[in-house]
Amino acid sequence: MARTAFGKILDGLMPAKKITLDERVLQRARISVLTLDERWNNLFAAIEKTPAIIKAEEALNNCVKEQARLTAESKDNQTDKKARLRRIMELTTEAFERENEAARAEITECEERVRAINAREPEIEREQGALAQKIKDSNVALLESAVAYLYVSMKKSQKRVAELDTMITDMRETLKDCISERELLDAAGTETYHFLHGLLGAAQIESLDEHYSLD
């Protein structure tokens, strides 16, 4: 990605001083995941990210992906469990009244799967709980890194703006002097030409214009 004008002035920034923020800052802003927030992405569409910010984003995104994976696993397990219980009911008559061994074997397999699902669900809930806290911590870590960087960036940009203001003021004064000098030279040239034209006449002036290549 090509560097923006603003991004170029951030070269050479010293590492930002560590700051500490409260996770309630994100709650008040109604932000659950920074990297999924439109305001965050719009901000960094114009500003280059530091390696620390990129690393913190990756850590947060990995947590979000794992959270989605666990949610999908839990949903799939519950769908599978319902199907297995339904299948057990369907096979009960065949297995026990008609003593069908194949049906009994399938019932046993379904029961084992249901027990496995029941055992896995509390594990998923614990993992999701730990992951939810990890996402909060990763959010705050990312925000802290970004805020420190952005404040250093703003300080540097303010310094550059002041420098540009001085340059613009100097350029305006130079431009003003140039305009004044141009007007004086133009007026003097016009007055001189009129004088010579009146003194020497049109024919002589035309010859001299051609001789001196005067426009």
Task: State the maximum Cα–Cα separation within the chain, in Å, rounded to a whole number.
Answer: 136
127 in Cβ contact with 70 (< 8 Å): yes
3-state secondary structure of 20: coil
The 10s digit of each residue's pLDDT in 85-138 is 999 999 988 888 788 889 999 999 999 999 999 999 999 999 999 999 999 999
What pLDDT score was predicted for residue 40? 92
| Sign, CA torsion 118/123/129/135 | negative
Its pTM stands at 0.65
Percent of all residues in the chain with a pLDDT value above 90, rounded to a whole number: 57
The 10s digit of each residue's pLDDT in 19-52 is 777 777 777 777 788 999 898 999 888 788 899 8
What pLDDT score was predicted for residue 66? 96
pLDDT at position 3 over 70: no
Q: How many CB atoms lie within 10 A of CB 153?
A: 19
Number of H-type helices and E-type strands within the chain: 6, 0
